Amino acid sequence: MSVPIGPARASVIGTGLIGGSIGLALRAQGWHVTGTDADPSSEARALELGAIDAVGLDPDAAVTFVAAPVRAIAAEARRALAATTGAVTDVGSVKAPVVAAIDHPRFVGGHPMAGSEQLGVDGASPDLFEGAVWVLTPVAGTDSDRFATVASVVRGLGAEVVALSPERHDALVAVVSHVPHLTAAALMGIADERAEEHAALLRLAAGGFRDMTRIAAGTPTIWPDICSENRDAILEVIDRLGDELGRLRAMVADHDRERLLATLERAQVARRNLPSRVAQPGDVAELRVPVPDREGALAEVTTLAAELGVNIADLEIAHSSEGDRGVLILLVPTTGAEAFRAGLVDRGYRPAVRTLT
């Protein structure tokens, strides 16, 4: 099966680290990329560095990437949807409020899990997304073709697409990104307040502490927005972390060596089992899933794959002549194909599976 050939025109709104990296990567593949930024000097620098061909929005862009600060995304996405007929996607760290606010079939929420420190276009690199996970958040109203286009372009940037509902995305990034960031800041703050009294303290900070607090060195300005937009999920995870630290505290207080060891051993196994960033699927299977006229089938099928831990290596939409009806064609690793097929059957789909050799 062939990888879909991407259309040749794209735009980026926001020519910082992420937008600039998207531009560099697409232009290296022969795309024509235009871009805008709230800061004209950033536009000029992006031009100079070859991240964009020209300043402006392209009405013929197949995809427009909104790489603006979280609070500006909805307005910029609406502007892009009005200016173009193609897909519009974003790269913000919180998805549910943005996706709900925009609520448009041509908008596909997105979040690349890479390059969170916003450094400006001078830090941009065409390799930034190589091997990274890029979450897309299709919902019931999302247009299948626009989703397939965005997924294909994102995969062309070297990223692995994981489809999640916006709410699920927000709950999960609270666990793996937002609360860890706040925790790093808390640890750094505690060390710093004691360092005022004991100048030796920070000299004792070896590799482990440096690793744990590294993200606290990132740009703080993005976090008030993120914490405000993802408030409830973050509060829930902070409470859970408080519970867990309380549990560990009790073990330490009681000299409960056995439970402490068991807890740390579970954490060790989990850390060692963290999936490697570069997914290397071996044999793949093709699932053809007819989606006669079912609202939200695309979102349901692709997010099911993510929930089952099945990586979608490729995705295509084959349309019937009757318009809405069609067939989703998905490539997944052979190892996950059976679980995925069973999950689809449970939800009333009738997938056909064949192993590709």
- Return the residue of 135, 151, 154, 315 that touches a second copy, per CB under 8 A: 135
- Verify binding: residue 346, a second copy, rule CB under 8 A: no
Minimum CB distance to a second copy, residue 268 (Å): 5
Burial status of residue 293 (CB atoms within 10 A of its CB: 0-12, 13-18, 19 or more): exposed
- From residue 269 to residue 308, the character string flagging contacts with a second copy as x (rule: CB under 8 A) and all else as - is -xxxxxx------------------------------xxx
Candidate segments 32-40, 229-237, 315-323, 324-332, binder of a second copy by CB under 8 A = 229-237
CB 256, min distance to a second copy, A: 9
Candidate residues 41, 85, 125, 268; the one interacting with a second copy per rule CB under 8 A: 268
Assess 181 for contact with a second copy (CB under 8 A).
yes
Stretch that binds a second copy, among 35-43, 79-87, 172-180, 346-354 (CB under 8 A): 172-180
- CB closer to a second copy out of 36 and 93: 93
Write down the least CB distance from residue 135 to a second copy, Å: 7
Residue 324 lies near a second copy (rule: CB under 8 A):
no
Scan residues 232-251 and list those touching a second copy (CB under 8 A). Answer: 234-235, 237-242, 244-246, 248-249, 251
Which DSSP state fits 86?
S
Residue 212 and residue 184 in contact, taking contact as beta carbons nearer than 8 Å: yes
Q: How far is the CB of 357 from a second copy (least distance, A)?
A: 27
**Least distance from a second copy to the Cβ atom of residue 323, Å:** 32
Is residue 173 a contact partner of residue 132, using CB atoms and an 8 Å limit? no
- Site mask for a second copy (CB under 8 A), range 188-227, x = bound: xxxxx-xx--xxxxxxxxxxxxxxxxxxxxxxxx-xx--x
The least CB distance from residue 297 to a second copy, in Å, is 19
Q: Which of 44, 119, 187, 329 binds a second copy (CB under 8 A)?
A: 187
Residue 318 as a binder of a second copy (CB under 8 A): the answer is: no
Measured in degrees and rounded to the nearest 5, phi and psi for residue 88 equal -125, 135
Residues 98 and 193: their CA atoms lie apart, in Å, by 37
Token pair, residue 330, equals 């998905």
Per CB under 8 A, 338 contacts a second copy:
no
Three-state SS for 233-258 is HHHHHHHHHHHHHHHHHHHHHCCCHH
Which residue carries 């706040």 as its tokens?
A: 182
**56 counts as binding a second copy under rule CB under 8 A:** no
Q: Which is it for strands 284-290 and 352-355: parallel, antiparallel or unpaired?
A: antiparallel
* Cβ contact 171:197 at 8 Å: no
Supply angle C-alpha 288, 293, 298, rounded to 5.
55
Q: Among residue numbers 25 through 44, which ones bind a second copy (CB under 8 A)?
A: none
Q: How far is the CB of 110 from a second copy (least distance, A)?
A: 13
CA distance 77 to 58: 14
Q: Are 1 and 329 in contact (CB under 8 A)?
A: yes
For the bound state, the minimum distance from the C-beta of residue 4 to a second copy, rounded and expressed in Å, comes to 23
Minimum CB distance to a second copy, residue 299 (Å) = 14
The footprint of a second copy on this chain (CB under 8 A) covers a number of residues equal to 98
Q: What are phi and psi of 348, to 5 degrees?
A: 90, 10
The reply on whether position 160 binds a second copy by CB under 8 A is yes
The residues, ordered by sequence, that sit 6+ positions from 105 with a Cβ below 8 Å of its Cβ are 141, 142, 143, 146
Q: Please, which of residues 58-117 interact with a second copy by CB under 8 A?
A: 113-114, 116
How far does CA 203 lie from the centroid of its chain? Answer: 36
In the chain, % helix, strand, coil (3-state, to 5) comes to 50, 15, 35
- Residue from 69, 123, 180, 296 binding a second copy (CB under 8 A): 180
